[in-house]
Structure formats: C-alpha cells, structure tokens
Amino acid sequence: MSEILVLVEHVDGDVKKVTLELLTLARTLGTPAAVWAGPGYSDAAKARLAEYGAEKIYVAAADEIGDYVAAPKAEVLAHLVAQRSPAAVFVAATGEGKEIAGRLAIKTDSGVISDAVGVGEGFVAEQSIFGGGVNVRSRVTKGTPIITVRPNSTAPVAAAAAGAEEKVEVALSDAARAARIVERVVQEKGARPELTEAAIVVSGGRGVGSGENFAIIEKLADALGAAVGASRAATDAGWYPHQFQVGQTGKTVSPQLYIAAGISGAIQHRAGMQTSKTIVVINKDAEAPLFEIADFGVVGDLFQVVPQLTEEIDKRK
Ligand code: FAD
C-alpha cells in the first residue's frame, strides 16, 4: 500500500492527540508515515507514533526548523513529497497546519482540501459547511492530495507498527527564514483539556450573564473532565478570555459531546462546533436556532438546569 505522510503536531516534544487521529485515519487508506519536523524528537515520541500505526517516521529534527513560522515544515514536507511520491499528505486543520498545507500545495503544484471531517476511498474528503447544513465531498485532481483534517474527527485507535526511523536533512531556503519566532508565550494550561482537542466541551453564551456566573459552566465542565468554551457575545463582554471563543472567528471544535448553555446558535457560532458528534442545548427560549442542530435539547433556565446536571453527574462518579 502506498505511503500517506502525516505531519506530526507536537508541543514541547509531546505528540498532540490530533496526530494519533490522523495516523488512525491514514491506516484505513494506506501505510501511515509520520513526519516529525522541528526539535524535541525523543524515544517517547517515536514509541507513541509507532503505537498508533506509523510504519515509518521521517525525522527532520534540526533546531532551525522550530525557529521560523510554518514555512520550514512545508519545505520538509515538499522535500518528502518529491522523494517519496506519497499517495497523500494529511495535516491537522489547526492554524499552523492550514498554513503549512497551503504552502505545501504551492510548492508541489497540488490541490489542497481544508477542514475535512473525514476522508474515504480515493482520498475523497468530506467537509461540513454552511453551519453544518451541507456536506461536501471532494477530491484533489492535481498533484498529491493534501488534506487538512479537523481535530476530533476520528477516534484514535492504537495499532502497533514498525516506526522505522529515517533522518531527513533539508537545507532551508531564504524564504523559509522570512518570519522568525521571537517569543513563545505559553498560555496557562490549567487542569482542563485543551479546547480544540477535548472530547467534551461545555460552552456558555450571553445567557450566562456575567464572568462570575461562568463558574457554573466551569463546574459542569470539571464534573465531565471537559474543556470550557464561550460564544463571542460572552468573550466580547469580557466574561471569558478570547482564547476560549468557539466559532468562525474563534476556535473550531469537533468533540464527541458539545454542551451549549445560553447560546442562541448564530451561524458564526455554529461554524465552530457543528461537527460535534452529540450536541446538547440548554436555552430558555424554545425557538433558539441552536435547537435545530441539537441531539438533545433542554428548554429551561440554565441557572437551574446546569447545577442540577452537575450534581447528578457528580453523584454518579
Ligand atoms: P445571544 O445571541 O444573545 O443568545 C443568548 C441566548 O441565551 C439566547 O438564546 C437566550 O434565549 C439564552 N438565554 C438567556 N438567558 C438564559 C438563561 N437564564 N437560561 C438559558 N438560556 C438563556 N459568535 C460566536 O459565538 N463565535 C464566533 O466566532 C463569532 N464570530 C463572528 C464573526 C463575525 C464576522 C460576526 C459578524 C459575528 C460573529 N459572532 C460570533 C457573533 C454571532 O453573530 C452572535 O452574535 C453570537 O454568537 C451570539 O452569542 P450568544 O448566542 O451567546 O448570544
């Protein structure tokens, strides 16, 4: 079976969950080969990638790759595409991933499909658009299919593979050195999972009413081991930090379970959460548009419903 390159997302040497998802997806269509670009590679990273099905691991570990924004990683991938002629390249649909994919498409004269929520036979990618109202299936018809896949689209499943390592040396072009990273600010991690990677997200909107009231949302999130999200109305009001905004101009999430409390369901909010597997909506207005895409809906006051839900979940632990 032909090789599918999977670009590894990693932070401080840790392989991000989305990479395990992409390896799992790649296994259904070919032979996954992980591509590590940048410093921080370790035996632990190797073991993790092999555990999730990487038959091969291409390692371009030069420190310099981590010194610049996106472009060096695109050059590493372009080098491998030229050398290995893979069947496809999978990249996480994150901010950096999408930039890398776009650059790679230009370098390899290939088509790119962004924000896929699934990829099937023949590398037909599925995208969910217009607030989840329309599903589009498309296929790259030129060059090597480059597909960015949303985190949480595939459940990661371990399947041990060889993880055969191969060092890759790429001489970076001057263009790749155009934007140097001058500072990295590590955002406070806290005990909760990262929003875009969380299996469960509990979000609050304008209906929450104040920053202090977000404690209700946080309590439910903690009872479920979930991440906290917010609508733009809530972040613009200063009730919750902008980094937790879900939607068109915020983060895109696709968890197994998304609970929205006091959020009306504007198209811009849906754009960031409509591919969630199960959607639960709590809203006192039965006509709130978010109910249209809800799997379960509770028409009620969130100040009553959310604490009761939290209590019930805590009881069952
Ligand atoms: P509202 O629309 O005001 O809804 C509040 C809801 O809370 C109502 O349905 C109400 O019935 C309910 N409610 C009130 N009190 C209670 C209670 N006690 N119990 C239960 N329910 C209650 N929005 C985003 O979220 N993310 C984005 O990324 C984003 N990007 C945007 C980009 C652009 C270019 C534009 C123009 C807009 C964008 N927006 C975005 C804003 C979006 O259009 C909406 O204004 C926003 O999503 C509304 O947030 P909300 O649902 O919290 O507030």
Q: Whose CA is nearest to atom 28 of ligand 1?
A: 247
Q: Whose CA is nearest to atom 2 of ligand 1?
A: 264
Q: Spell out a b/e string for 191-221, using b for 16 or more CB atoms within 10 Å of the CB, else e.
A: ebbebbbbbbbbbbbbbbbeeebbebbbbbb
Token pair 């811009």 is at which residue?
268
Token pair 């991938």 is at which residue?
77
Q: Which of 233, 197, 234, 198 is nearest to 217 (CA)?
A: 234
Tens of pLDDT along 198-220? 999 999 999 999 999 999 999 99
Q: How far is the CA of 266 from the centre of ligand 1 (A)?
A: 6
Q: How far is the CA of 196 from the centre of ligand 1 (A)?
A: 20
Q: What is the pTM of this model?
A: 0.80
Q: How far is the CA of 126 from the centre of ligand 1 (A)?
A: 27
Q: Whose CA is nearest to atom 20 of ligand 1?
A: 283
Question: Can you tell me the mean pLDDT for 113-125?
Answer: 96
Tens of pLDDT along 130-168? 766 788 999 999 999 999 998 888 889 999 999 999 999
Q: How far is the CA of 292 from the centre of ligand 1 (A)?
A: 15
SS3 for 11-40, per residue?
Answer: ECCEECHHHHHHHHHHHCCCEEEEEEECCC
Number of neighbours of residue 115 by Cβ within 10 angstroms: 19
Tens of pLDDT along 65-80? 999 999 999 999 999 9
* Whole-number Å distance between alpha carbons of 78 and 72: 10
Q: Whose CA is nearest to atom 1 of ligand 1?
A: 264
What was the pLDDT predicted at 68? 94
Decide if the complex's ipTM is over 0.90: yes
Whether residue 173 has pLDDT greater than 70: yes
Close Cβ partners of 185 (under 8 Å, ≥ 6 residues apart): none
How many angstroms from the chain centroid is the CA of residue 40?
21
Q: Whose CA is nearest to atom 3 of ligand 1?
A: 206
Q: How far is the CA of 55 from the centre of ligand 1 (A)?
A: 45
Q: Which of 212, 210, 200, 80 is nearest to 146 (CA)?
A: 80
What was the pLDDT predicted at 317? 81
Whether residue 188 has pLDDT greater than 80: no
- Residue of 268, 281, 304 to test ligand 1 pocket, by largest number of atoms within 8 Å of CB: 268
- Residues in contact with ligand 1 by the CB-under-6-Å rule are 205-207, 231-234, 245-250, 262-264, 266, 268-269, 272, 282-285, 288, 301-303
- Residue of 210, 217, 235, 263 to test ligand 1 pocket, by largest number of atoms within 8 Å of CB: 263
Q: How far is the CA of 89 from the centre of ligand 1 (A)?
A: 36
User: What Rg value do the Cα atoms of the chain yield, rounded?
Assistant: 21
Asked if 101 and 146 count as a contact pair (C-beta separation under 8 A), the reply is yes
Q: How far is the CA of 207 from the centre of ligand 1 (A)?
A: 8
Question: Can you tell me the mean pLDDT for 109-117?
Answer: 95
- Residue of 195, 220, 228, 248 to test ligand 1 pocket, by largest number of atoms within 8 Å of CB: 248
Backbone CA torsion sign across 183, 187, 193, 197: negative
Q: How far is the CA of 274 from the centre of ligand 1 (A)?
A: 15
Q: How far is the CA of 124 from the centre of ligand 1 (A)?
A: 34
